[in-house]
């Protein structure tokens, strides 16, 4: 069997975007759109959030972006968008009714639509009938064709492979990888990002939507994405794999296939400063970070090909999300985390990724 039919994105860097972020500009339900505001290669010309229309993005979410916040798709058309992107990541991945109305309005107006939710809009007869000639609906949360069961093939890739692992969901795994990717590229290093969730795929233009893949093939899908990203790499290159989920979350199964599929040489732990329990599950205390680090490293040491001469992967550094803290409290949390784990620690969004990259290169 040949390579699987991995994602071929119709979204091009020059496409002008409007983000559908209904109710998501001020909370984590909008994390996909907020990540695109921070990292997208595409120009974002407007954001739709009826609850916050007229406010600046800086005041709403702390992202200094000039795109106006408007109350409807119709109001965004004056800014000449070409693609409407659903920027929400609601629990369960279902399309809210209000967003559906603006998706329909976008299609009627001749826009294309990028969709990372579980609802496949291209298979919806009502919405598909509104699609104008030459436009597209990109349902990116689909399983690639032709997948194989993983077999440790990524271990043969000659470069270092970094996997971000989280203490919980939505703690900043993708952001940490993208900050590292940007810093590495600024230094002239060959660094390649593998998106494994809707935001990472929308930002980078490729990858695999891991939560759309059947469990038997999940590690194989990651393996295939890493092998594709590794085309032409040398020993000094880096592949940065976006993490998903958490071993500490009872509803998450994503970390293990990521470990198995990418066969990491290095691990980056991502944690939100001050978090005491799994978000939304107060009866589940956050394990001490040294305990979580030991568990991740133990799992990563298993199921590794004997032909791989590298030592078992270790957590090399900690990316600490301090977004909820002021500058003084953030500095204190970073110092305390470094002391308690014995590992380099910084907030790559707040401080930049130079320190983390230095630690990785020195390890």
**Helix or strand (DSSP H, E) at 85:** strand 83-86
Question: Where does the pLDDT of residue 1 fall: very low under 50, low under 70, confident under 90, or very high at 90 and above?
Answer: very low
Spatial contact of 295 and 255, defined as CB atoms under 8 Å apart: no
What integer best gives the mean pLDDT of the chain? 95
Q: Would you tell me which CATH number, out of the four given (3.40.50.720, 3.30.565.10, 1.10.3720.10, 3.40.1030.10), belongs to the domain 17-139?
A: 3.40.50.720
Give the pLDDT confidence of 288-326 residue by residue, as tens digits. Answer: 999 999 999 999 999 999 988 889 999 999 999 999 999
pTM above 0.85, yes or no: yes
Spatial contact of 95 and 121, defined as CB atoms under 8 Å apart: yes
Among 178, 192, 231, 209, residue whose Cα is nearest residue 9: 209
Structure tokens at 212: 């759309």
Contacts of 153 (CB under 8 A, 6+ apart): 223, 227, 263
Note the pLDDT of residue 53.
Answer: 97
The CATH H-level (homologous superfamily) assignment of domain 153-362 is P-loop containing nucleotide triphosphate hydrolases (3.40.50.300)
Among 154, 227, 259, 204, residue whose Cα is nearest residue 4: 227
Buried b (16+ CB within 10 A) or exposed e, 312-322: ebbbbbbbbbb
* 17-139 shares its CATH topology with 153-362: yes
Tell me the angle at which helices 255-262 and 289-300 cross, rounded to the nearest 10 degrees: 40
Tell me the angle at which helices 289-300 and 327-341 cross, rounded to the nearest 10 degrees: 50
Asked if the model's pLDDT at residue 5 lies above 70, the reply is no
Note the pLDDT of residue 8.
Answer: 67
Average pLDDT over residues 94-115: 95
Structure tokens at 157: 């890739």
In the chain, domain spans: 17-139, 153-362
Note the pLDDT of residue 28.
Answer: 85
Backbone angles phi, psi at 219, to 5 degrees: -65, -35
Among 316, 274, 249, 248, residue whose Cα is nearest residue 91: 249
């Amino acid at each position: 069997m040949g390579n699987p039919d991995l994602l071929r994105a119709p979204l091009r860097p020059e496409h002008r975007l409007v983000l559908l972020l209904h109710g998501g500009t001020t909370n984590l339900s909008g994390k996909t759109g907020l990540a695109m505001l921070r990292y997208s290669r595409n120009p974002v010309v407007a954001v739709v959030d009826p609850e916050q229309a007229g406010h600046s993005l800086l005041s709403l979410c702390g992202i200094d972006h000039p795109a106006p916040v408007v109350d409807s798709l119709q109001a965004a058309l004056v800014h000449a968008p070409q693609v409407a992107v659903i920027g929400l990541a609601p629990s369960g991945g279902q399309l809210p009714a209000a967003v559906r109305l603006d998706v329909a309005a976008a299609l009627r107006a001749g826009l294309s639509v990028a969709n990372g939710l579980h609802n496949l809009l291209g298979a919806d007869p009502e919405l598909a009938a509104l699609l104008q000639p030459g436009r597209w609906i990109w349902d990116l949360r689909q399983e690639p064709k032709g997948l194989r069961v993983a077999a440790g093939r990524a271990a043969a890739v000659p470069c270092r492979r970094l996997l971000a692992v989280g203490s919980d969901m939505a703690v900043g795994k993708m952001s940490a990888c993208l900050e590292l990717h940007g810093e590495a590229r600024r230094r002239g290093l060959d660094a390649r990002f593998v998106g494994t969730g809707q935001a990472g795929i929308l930002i980078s233009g490729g990858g695999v939507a891991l939560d759309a893949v059947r469990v038997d093939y999940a590690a194989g899908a990651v393996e295939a994405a890493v092998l594709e990203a590794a085309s032409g790499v040398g020993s000094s290159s880096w592949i940065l794999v976006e993490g998903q989920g958490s071993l500490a979350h009872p509803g998450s199964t994503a970390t293990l296939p990521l470990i198995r599929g990418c066969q990491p040489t290095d691990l980056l732990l991502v944690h939100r400063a001050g978090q005491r329990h799994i978000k939304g599950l107060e009866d589940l205390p956050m394990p001490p970070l040294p305990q979580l680090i030991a568990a991740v490293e133990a799992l990563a040491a298993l199921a590794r090909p004997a032909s791989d001469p590298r030592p078992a992967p270790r957590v090399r550094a900690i990316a600490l999300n301090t977004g909820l803290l002021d500058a003084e409290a953030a500095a204190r949390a970073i110092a305390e985390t470094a002391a308690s784990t014995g590992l380099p620690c910084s907030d790559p969004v707040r401080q930049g990724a130079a320190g983390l990259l230095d630690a990785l290169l020195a390890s």
